[in-house]
Amino acid sequence: MLNQKEKLPGERVIIGSKDDRIPMTSRDYPWSAIGKIEGVDTDGSSYSCTGTLIAEDVVLTNAHCVVNSKTGKVSQAIAFQPNLANGVVKNKDDVAYATNVYYGTDFKNGDLADYANDWAILKLNKPIGKKYGYLGWKSLPSPSLVGDTKKFALVGYSSDFPNPKKKGYENLTAGESMTAGVHLECSILRRQYNVLYHNCDTNQGASGGAIISNINGKYYILALHSGSNEVNGLLLNRAVEMSRLDEWLQRN
């Protein structure tokens, strides 16, 4: 997506031998607050990502979902389709468009500092969060996040999911990337160089997907999936810490 590889050549970002994603077809909260981003780059090429409503008219996603990592230019058009399931939004009038974008990096550094700041906020042209709901976020210290806890979930509109030819998915006729996949009970395994690494199953298109958990009866975003890379010889998915968003808000 946007010239930034989310996976190593020849590798999938399914962790382990089993793909644990299942189709997210629920229209209920908190899943209703998650949607598909479709954008048009400055050269006219199209791409897709995942985003989550964090206010009535604000969506959280990755910086590389709004900025071309080679040119540093912001996409010419970005649409958000809330709670897209089998290619359908509850009401086509609920599709919203970004009027302003704010992002943590334009990828000029070309190093891990870019990965650590790979977040973006989209200001939408309509307050669809009133209908679909929105999630808050929490910036928790690493010891509270890291470990094989199986207490997180990641939802993403992956380009390889779902396969309507797979048994049980026959009714998902809209095809791949038109229904989100969710991996329930996955874990954040480590923190290294200001980046979190997790084992939630994803693929391209899931960028910007929120890693969420239920805390005292409420759902929160605790990290932001951004891609994958090799860590000490092991392929892991990476995520942005929510403290990055807190730091930006404090400065603005």
236 pLDDT band, cuts 50/70/90, is confident
The CATH code of the domain that includes 149 is 2.40.10.120
Residue 232: pLDDT above 80? no
Tens digits of per-residue pLDDT, 203-222?
Answer: 999 999 999 999 999 999 99
Residue 11 belongs to a domain: no
Quote the domain boundaries for residue 213.
Answer: 22-251
3 pLDDT band, cuts 50/70/90, is very low
Distance CA 13, CA 113 (A): 21
Residue 7 belongs to a domain: no
Distance CA 71, CA 183 (A): 33
Q: Tell how strand 180-186 and strand 22-24 pair up.
A: antiparallel
What pLDDT, on a 0 to 100 scale, did the predictor assign at position 112? 78
Tens digits of per-residue pLDDT, 183-207?
Answer: 999 999 999 889 999 999 999 999 9
Residue 171 belongs to a domain: yes
Quote the number of domains for the chain: 1
Tens digits of per-residue pLDDT, 84-135?
Answer: 999 999 999 999 999 999 999 999 887 778 889 999 999 999 999 999 999 9
DSSP-assigned letter for residue 107: S
Residue 8 belongs to a domain: no
Residue 75 belongs to a domain: yes
Residue 219 belongs to a domain: yes
Residue 16 belongs to a domain: no
